[in-house]
Structure 1
Amino acid sequence: MEPLELSVILDAALDVFQEHGFHGATVREIARRVGMTVPALYYHHENKESLLAALLELGAEEAAWRVRAAADEAAGRRDLQFANVIEAIVLYVTCRTRLAIIDAELRYLSPRARRRYAARRKVVENVLTEVIEAGSAEGVFTVSDPAETSRALLGMCQSIARWYRPGDRLKPADVASRYVDIALQTVGAQPS
């Protein structure tokens, strides 16, 4: 996956949010790391919440287009389509761990910002649910509740950000392969 391109402000904000959490992060610390004054930073971003919202939305948009592309790549085969979608989600989480880990900070967004972010994030869930529903209808998967299965699988994949660290002995492709096998078993398909 290509390197993440963030503005210097968002890059610094991401580092500070990772180190201190949203509540412990200060705009003053973010501005200091960028080498600007707090008023100068406010010229670019309204407040600390807008920095968090921008980062979360950026991550959600990237994950969504990667998942859509993965599903489109294997549209004719539900098992392969499903494996591609899970792989795309896991690769996003392992290659964009810095962004994926701050998802837990969404609780600090205002209701309006949270709704905007949730709508973007829902795209990933919808694609996965549609693939599971189609696979179930075709007899490829044995799932009683595709929507609940989708949420469970997403929770499993999102939790990777809590333990995975870039540079670990497991590479992103290794983690993706393992999670694809687990996910295939979850929907009643045979791992490859």
Structure 2
Amino acid sequence: MTVEGTQRGSSWREYTDQGLSKVLAAALAAFVEKGYDGASIREIASRAGLSVPGLYHHYPSKQALLVGLTNAVMRELLDRSHAAVAEAGPTPGERFDAVIESLLRFHMYRREQAFVASRETRSMESESRKAYVALRDEQQEMLDDIVREGAAAGLFRTPFPEDASRAVVTMCVAVSTWYREDGPLSPDELVERYLAIARSTVGASD
């Protein structure tokens, strides 16, 4: 089914303001511009219109800001992916398309959040990194299960289901590093093109 043929009322396809608190929104802007190491608590507080003690009332450290932001990013992505699968048809191909479209739209419309979460995993303390990676693995496993099921049923011809699934997710995540709203492809056109590439990667039957 083409993107044009899908239902446009689906909430997981709709992107408005993420609803970040003013503190997390300020941290996001600072991390995008200067990176985690380059952004100071004082600067984040200023962007949020708070004093440093006022910021600490909400988050006790810069690390807590990073954890709060990256958790919000992953929770939203997982919620949207689960909603996409719930709305999809029962076949592995339909569920595969739904997850891929969700990943692509998220990494277009939440590209700054996704970019910071991906880049700054290295800046997380050990326990926080483990918790974040567990959420990221949950997203990956969602697609892995679908691709394995499709391969077992002969609907996906790839001899390497897990590798193909990882390759497709990596492609979708990378969209956040280069997509621009004023670029040559509209969101629907990009989804259509990358769905074709993703289906080819797993060897989806027509």
TM-score between the two structures when normalised by the length of structure 2: 0.88
Is the contact made by 1:61 and 1:121 (CA closer than 8 Å) also made in structure 2?
A: no
What is the count of residue pairs matched by the alignment?
191
Which consecutive segments of 4 or more residues in structure 1 shift more than 6 A? none
Q: Which residue of 2 aligns with 1:147?
A: 162
- Offset from partner CA, 1:8-66 (integer Å, 9 cap, x none): 00001100000011111111100011121111111111211111111111111111111
Q: Which residue of 2 aligns with 1:25?
A: 39
CA distance in 2, matches of 1:55, 1:81: 28
Q: Which amino acid aligns with 1:107?
A: R
CA distance in 2, matches of 1:69, 1:97: 20
CA distance in 1, matches of 2:197, 2:46: 44
1:174 equivalent in alignment to 2:189: yes
CA distance in 2, matches of 1:176, 1:50: 34
Gaps spanning 5+ residues in structure 1: where? none
Q: Which residue of 2 aligns with 1:87?
A: 101
Q: Which residue of 2 aligns with 1:125?
A: 140
Q: Which amino acid aligns with 1:16?
A: A
2:78 to 60, 64, 69: 64
CA distance in 2, matches of 1:134, 1:174: 28
1:39 equivalent in alignment to 2:53: yes
CA distance in 1, matches of 2:199, 2:130: 31
Q: CA deviation at 1:190?
A: 4.9
After TM superposition, list the pairs within 5 Å mapping 1:155-174 onto structure 2: 155-174=170-189
CA distance in 1, matches of 2:151, 2:67: 36
Identity of aligned residues (%): 36
The root-mean-square deviation of aligned C-alpha atoms, in Å, is 1.4
CA distance in 2, matches of 1:90, 1:152: 14
1:134 equivalent in alignment to 2:170: no
Q: Which residue of 2 aligns with 1:113?
A: 128
Of 99-108 and 142-151, deviating more is 142-151
Q: Which residue of 1 aligns with 2:8?
A: none
CA distance in 1, matches of 2:35, 2:160: 35
Is the contact made by 2:157 and 2:205 (CA closer than 8 Å) also made in structure 1?
A: no
- Offset from partner CA, 1:62-95 (integer Å, 9 cap, x none): 1111112222222412112111110000001001
Q: Which residue of 2 aligns with 1:189?
A: 204
Of 159-168 and 126-135, deviating more is 159-168
Q: Which amino acid aligns with 2:95?
A: Q
CA distance in 2, matches of 1:46, 1:167: 38
Q: CA deviation at 1:120?
A: 1.3
CA distance in 2, matches of 1:171, 1:105: 28
Gaps spanning 5+ residues in structure 2: where? 1-14
CA distance in 2, matches of 1:54, 1:170: 32
Q: Aligned with 2:16: secondary structure? A: coil
